[in-house]
Amino acid sequence: MTVVVVESPAKAKTINKYLGKDFTVLASYGHVRDLPPKDGSVRPDEDFDMSWEVDAKSAKRLADIASALKGDDRLILATDPDREGEAISWHVLEVLRKKGALKGKAVQRVVFNAITKQSVLEAMKHPREVDAALVDAYLARRALDYLVGFSLSPVLWRKLPGSRSAGRVQSVALRLICDRELEIEAFRSQEYWTIDGTFVTPKGAEFSASLNAVNGQKLAKLDLKDEASARAIEQAVKGQPFKVDTIESKPARRHPFAPFRTSTLQQEGSSKLGFSASKTMQIAQRLYEGVDIGGETVGLITYMRTDGVDMAPEAIADARNTILKQFGEPYLPSAPRQYTTKAKNAQEAHEAIRPTELSRHPDSVRKNLDGEQHALYELIWKRTIASQMESAELERTTADIGADGRDGKHYTFRATGSVVKFDGFLKVYNEDLEDTEDEDARRLPPMARGDSIGIRNIAAHQHFTEPPPRYSERSLIGKLEELGIGRPSTYASILSVIRDRGYARLDKKRFIPEDKGRVVTAFLESFFGRYVEYGFTADLEEQLDRVSAGEIDWKQVMRDFWRDFTVALDEIKDLRVANVLDALNDLLAPHIFPARADGGDPRQCPSCGNGQLSLKLGRFGSFVGCSNYPECKFTRPMTAGNDSAAMVPSEGIELGADPETGEKVTRRQGRFGPYLQLGETVEGEKPRRASIPKGTDPASIDLEAALKLLSLPREVGLHPETGKPIVANFGRFGPFVLHDGSYASLESPEDVYTIGINRAVDVLAEKKAKGFQRPKANALKDLGPHPDGGGNVQVMSGRYGPYVKYGSVNATLPRDTDPQALTMDDAVALIAARAGKSPAKKASARKKAPAKKAAAKKAPAKKAAKKAKPAA
Catalytic residues: 303
Smallest Cα–Cα separation from 8: which of 788, 804, 819, 780? Answer: 788
Task: Lay out the sheet containing 725-731: strands in order across.
Answer: 714-718, 725-731, 734-739, 742-745
Residues 6+ apart with CB under 8 A from 503: 166, 174, 513, 514, 516, 517, 520
Question: What is the rounded CA–CA span in Å between residue 787 and residue 724?
Answer: 60
Question: What is the rounded CA–CA span in Å between residue 476 and residue 513?
Answer: 13
Helix extents (H) in 354-506: 371-387, 473-483, 491-500
Displacement of CA 303 from its chain's centroid (Å) = 22
Core vs surface per residue 528-541: b (16+ CB within 10 A) or e = beebbebeebbebb
Question: Which residues, in sequence order, are bridge partners of residue 77?
Answer: 5, 109
**CA angle at residue 75 from 72 to 76, to 5 degrees?**
140
The count of other CB atoms within 10 Å of the CB of residue 183 is: 13
67 φ, ψ (degrees, to nearest 5): -65, -40
- Is-contact 93 65, C-beta < 8 A? no
The count of other CB atoms within 10 Å of the CB of residue 556 is: 12
199 φ, ψ (degrees, to nearest 5): -115, 165
- Is-contact 140 558, C-beta < 8 A? yes
| Torsion, Cα of 374, 380, 384, 390 (10° steps) | 80
How many residues are present in the chain?
A: 872
Question: What is the rounded CA–CA span in Å between residue 439 and residue 271?
Answer: 19
**CA angle at residue 803 from 502 to 163, to 5 degrees?**
20
Question: What is the rounded CA–CA span in Å between residue 596 and residue 606?
Answer: 11
Question: Which residues, in sequence order, are bridge partners of residue 411?
Answer: 214, 403
Number of alpha carbons in the 13 Å side-chain half-sphere of residue 505: 6
- Is-contact 756 796, C-beta < 8 A? no
- Is-contact 550 541, C-beta < 8 A? no
User: SS3 sequence, 293-356?
Assistant: ECCEEECCECCCCCCCCCCCHHHHHHHHHHHHHHHCHHHCCCCCCCCCCCCCCCCCCCCCECEC
- Is-contact 417 452, C-beta < 8 A? no
- Is-contact 722 738, C-beta < 8 A? no
Residues 6+ apart with CB under 8 A from 279: 269, 372, 820, 821
Question: What is the rounded CA–CA span in Å between residue 164 and residue 152?
Answer: 8
Helix extents (H) in 553-672: 554-571, 577-587, 589-592
Cα torsion angle, 133, 135, 137, 139, sign: negative
Residues 6+ apart with CB under 8 A from 511: 177, 470, 471, 472, 473, 476, 498, 504, 505
Question: Which residues, in sequence order, are bridge partners of residue 29?
Answer: none
Q: What is the CA radius of gyration of the chain?
A: 35
